[in-house]
Structure 1
Amino acid sequence: MHRATAVLMGVCVLTAACLYVPQLAQLVGRRALVVTVHQWSGLALPVPVLAGLVSRAFRADLGRLNRFGPHDATWLRAALRRDKRPSSRPAGKFNAGQKVYAAWIAGATLVMLGTGLMMWFTHLTPLVWRTSATFVHDWLALTVGIVLAGHIGMALADPEARRGMRTGSVDRDWAEREHPLWRP
């Protein structure tokens, strides 16, 4: 699910860049095709998550992502102080930063989907709504791009977490150090 979502989000970001950066638009050309690919990949973006709901393990992970405990407040305070000691950042399977990111990107995806549909089906809404949708869509897209760059940067800095995403398992020492409250 993560890979499928990443591919679709990557296509959305790259096609959006080709639609808004003149130098990229000139390199790619075929604007109508880029628009079509952008629209359909955006429309398909929720599909991997919806398909994942059939998995008991995925639903359990969603439950973990959706619950904040006292240890998450401690983790966030340590992060704001830039305290990198693992002992100051207690976490279960997901740390508070991952929970905040997951909630934010899920909400942003839904807003992007809604504003994108308003822009795509122009005859369904008044001009002022479409203009507002375009404004929100464009600025949120820029924000999503920046946040995704941070997400990718953090992933690149943690090879064990990437291995866990690929294989479904992580080194016990890493899990005990980075996620001491995790009880698989």
Structure 2
Amino acid sequence: MAGTTSPRLETAAARVRRFSPAERWVHRMTAILMGVCVATAACLYLPQLAELVGRRALVVTVHEWSGLLLPAPFLAGLASRAFRGDLRLLNRFGPHDRAWLRRRTRRAGKFNAGQKLYAGWLAGAVLVMLGTGLLMWFTHLTPLSWRTGSTFVHDWLALTLGVVIAGHVGMAWADPESRRGMRTGEVDPEWAEREHPLWRR
């Protein structure tokens, strides 16, 4: 009995480290702030939710500040070497990524091509939403045509963001091991070899 190892310890030892605590914190805080932005936007634009929630002025304030704070987790994460390393991986697009997009291979590094495109698109969308939101917030600083254009872009991009984020959540929900990796930082080695073989090797 003294020389045996429990199955739980053996399983934990066999798992592969995928994300550091800092990376998971950035993801979690970004998800919370984005969720607040989307929820408050829905309360502002859907009459049924607006009537249910009420207190429009408070909802507007929460929406504005959650949007303003959205880049904060990313900026704080830059202090982490692991987070900066993942950013470098997300910014590189190789031949295997193009093959992955054409469905010719499942070969992927730590992030597949879909994850890289999603991360890049989301970063750009957040910047545009932040810029247009500021133009709408400080109405006295810009001409009416700018505010009108900002409102149009902000509203339609918000709708697009909602759809894309719903797709992201749906794909994560369909992959329990991926969710476990973001929740605990570790993944099953067989999953890593199957889904991200270039990173695993």
Taking only the aligned residue pairs, the percentage that are identical comes to 78
Q: Name structure 1 gaps, 5 residues minimum.
A: none
Match of 1:125 in 2: 142
Match of 1:46 in 2: 71
TM-score by length of 2: 0.86
Where do residues 84-123 of structure 1 align in structure 2 (5 Å cutoff)? 88-123=105-140
How many residues are matched? 176
Q: Is the 8 A contact 2:192 2:200 kept in 1?
A: no
Where do residues 20-169 of structure 1 align in structure 2 (5 Å cutoff)? 20-78=45-103, 88-169=105-186
Rg larger in 1 or in 2?
Answer: 2
TM-score by length of 1: 0.94
Question: Could you list the per-position Cα deviations for residues 52-86 of structure 1 after superposition, in whole angstroms to 9, with x for gaps in the alignment?
Answer: 000000000000000000000000011xxxx7xxx
Q: Name structure 2 gaps, 5 residues minimum.
A: 1-25
- What is the Cα deviation at residue 90 of structure 1? 1.0
| Matched AA of 2:128 | V
What is the aligned-residue RMSD (CA, Å)? 0.9
Please identify runs of 4+ aligned residues in structure 1 that moved more than 6 A. Answer: none
Q: Do structure 1's residue 182 and structure 2's residue 199 form an aligned pair?
A: yes
- What is the Cα deviation at residue 183 of structure 1? 4.3
- What is the Cα deviation at residue 169 of structure 1? 1.2
